[in-house]
Structure 1
């Protein structure tokens, strides 16, 4: 579990620096929704489904994650929230990558660390 803690803590530190560099407020409702959706999509679909379990093909997973991101951006557009800029896209890619890495490392340590009966 040390590796999982290192991945989470290093990810939080990098997230802090990314948010400060792009001058984003991570604690408003819009950014929490964006960050949470991207992190969970990376964690569940990419980290666990593609890289660990190999149950989902990478092509389908990328299309599914892009559809989720596009649906979120369309939802923001209909509510007149202007969040479609380069900084938010880089932040979204970081959240997807961090979620995928966290999901893979957590499942690898948790499931491969169990004793087989």
Structure 2
């Protein structure tokens, strides 16, 4: 991530695929790349796409259009004085995800 950004230009885009003796694969991307979305993120994207598809008809809309639009809207909000609010909400989101992944131990 950030180490790659510190490399001098031109920075190489690489994909490193490690295959363990057990057959398990792990892929590492160096440089800009499409994120691997979780099933929950795909469901969220699809739901938004489905909801908006009928409203923009007869225009055709694709899932990547929803992502592109959302990213531009986020960039716009950050650049228009809402950076602090956006960063605060992002921190809350990251905290919530962390808590879902590792729930508090049960009280004894």
- TM-score w.r.t. the length of structure 1 is 0.29
Larger radius of gyration: 2
- The structure in which a higher percent of residues are helix is 1
- Per chain length, whose mean CA-contact separation is higher, i.e. which structure has more relative contact order (CA < 8 Å, sep 6+)? 1
Which one has the bigger strand percentage? 2
TM-score normalised by L of structure 2: 0.31
